[in-house]
């Protein structure tokens, strides 16, 4: 699964949406949080983005989990956008290479308004009651793709999610 990331609420939303055995892959700094640290020390896969070797080890763990029938959730932006209202930032290539190498489909997920319910704009943060709208797109098959197709797959997923976000404005 490849969701956009506009709020910490996105993690909860994707957890509720994903009904099977899954694991998040996320930045190593999540080990420092009380709740996220618990998950990233046990179930999820932390990534040290400053170390190529550590990133490769995390990638290999993701491969093992996919081979064992788990689903992976990777936020392709690698961060929560600092723009308000949030816009998609450039996607990392890792989730798309992983999907192609493992020949598993990518499922784009667009959180349209989680940032309105739980926000952190860099100056202030807060929450309010509300309903969040999450859109699960059709899976994109990676069969017959090679690693050379990773950039095109990344761009396709970006375009799908960006179009959905733009239509919600």
The larger pLDDT score, comparing residue 117 to residue 121, is at 117
Residue 79 has which token pair? 């961060």
The mean of the pLDDT values for the chain is: 91
Mean pLDDT across the stretch 88-93? Answer: 94
Rounded to whole angstroms, the Cα distance separating 102 from 144 reads 11
- Rounded Cα distance between 101 and 113, Å, is 32
pLDDT given at position 40: 85
* Cβ-proximal residues to 46 (8 Å cutoff; 6+ apart), any chain: 26, 27, 28, 30, 31, 40, 58
Mean pLDDT of 27-42: 85
Strand, helix or coil for residue 39: helix
Decide if pLDDT at 122 tops 70. Answer: no
- Model confidence pTM above 0.75: yes
pLDDT tens figures, 64-75 = 999 999 999 999
- Site of tokens 């699960």: 136
What percent of the chain lies above the pLDDT cut of 70? Answer: 98
Sole residue written with tokens 């949080």: 33
Give residue-wise pLDDT tens across range 101-117: 999 999 999 999 998 89
Report the pLDDT value the prediction gives residue 37, as an integer from 0 to 100: 83
Give yes or no for residue 42 having a pLDDT over 70.
yes
State the pLDDT at residue 121: 67
Whether domain 2-168 has CATH 3.40.1130.10: the reply is yes
């Amino acid at each position: 699964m490849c969701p956009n990331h506009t709020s910490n609420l996105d993690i909860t939303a994707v957890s509720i949406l994903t009904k099977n055995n899954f694991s998040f892959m996320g930045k190593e700094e999540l080990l420092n949080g009380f709740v996220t640290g618990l998950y990233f020390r046990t179930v999820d896969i932390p990534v040290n983005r400053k170390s190529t070797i550590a990133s490769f080890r995390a990638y290999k763990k993701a491969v093992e989990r996919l081979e064992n029938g788990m689903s992976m959730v990777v936020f392709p932006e690698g961060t929560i956008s600092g723009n308000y209202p949030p816009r998609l930032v450039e996607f990392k290539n890792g989730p798309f290479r992983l999907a192609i190498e493992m020949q598993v489909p990518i499922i784009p997920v667009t959180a349209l308004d989680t940032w309105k319910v739980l926000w952190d704009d860099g100056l202030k943060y807060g929450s309010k009651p509300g309903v969040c709208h999450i859109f699960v797109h059709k899976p994109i098959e990676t069969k017959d793709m090679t690693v050379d197709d990773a950039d095109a797959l990344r761009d396709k997923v970006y375009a799908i999610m960006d179009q959905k976000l733009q239509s919600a404005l």
